[in-house]
Amino acid sequence: MRLILLGPPGSGKGTQAKLLCGRQGLAHISTGDILREARQQGTPAGKKAEAFMNAGQLVPDEVVNDIIADRFRRDDRPAKFVLDGYPRTLPQAAALDAVLRQQFLDLTAVVSLTVDDQDLVDRVAWRRVCPKCQRPYHEKNNPPQHPGLCDDDGAKLVQRADDNEETVRKRLQVYHAQTAELVPHYRRPGLLREVPGTGDIEAIYQKILAALGVK
């Protein structure tokens, strides 16, 4: 499978991407991870991205597109993958389409997790993250084995500074404005699969498999 996961902030894309990777043998291609990797490796696009990241600014489309293109043009490019956090805009989607065509990698589907904005705002209050490994948790739906502590390294979980209602609503406005054109873009060729992103994590995962026709 070659998948794209779409969904607003807090919709659970990262959690579902990890499940798909672990159970379906897919490579997890996360925009954040790739940006950090390119910066560490000092690639030309990585150096450009670093300047924006150090300044706390969004990395421009053309730089992100170059970094994603570099990843798929490498000898170790994945044959099966799930893209999480990219594309976010129509120009990014067009750039990705071109790169995948060049590499003869046809998308299987684009899974869009649909969640009501108010539900997302409510979720944020329960979201926690490990400051060491960045593993995300949700105190109701995906709690750690030991309250307040990361399962992997035992670090005390924290709440991100921007996990508050005002910030989340602003991020949702930006998301809807940016991604409004992505839904018809992927619906036209029959790639879009809309899946309700509410409820139990395992139940959502099973809904994704059903939408993909996987048993």
Domain residue extents for the chain: 2-116+175-212
Question: What pLDDT tens digit does each residue of the chain (215 aa) get?
Answer: 999 999 988 888 888 999 999 999 999 988 878 888 888 888 888 888 888 877 767 788 888 898 899 889 888 888 999 999 899 899 999 999 999 999 999 999 999 999 999 888 887 778 899 998 988 888 887 899 999 999 999 999 998 777 778 888 888 888 888 888 899 999 999 999 999 998 888 999 999 999 999 87
Q: Which pLDDT score, from 0 to 100, does residue 33 have?
A: 82
Strands 109-114 and 27-30, sheet pairing: unpaired
Question: Which are the catalytic amino acids?
Answer: 13, 88, 127, 160, 171
Is 3.40.50.300 the CATH number for 2-116+175-212?
yes
pTM for the whole thing?
Answer: 0.79
Tokens in use for 112? 């869009």
Nearest of 51, 21, 50 to residue 35 by alpha carbon? 50
pLDDT on residue 145: 94
CA distance 95 to 87: 9
pLDDT score for 34: 82
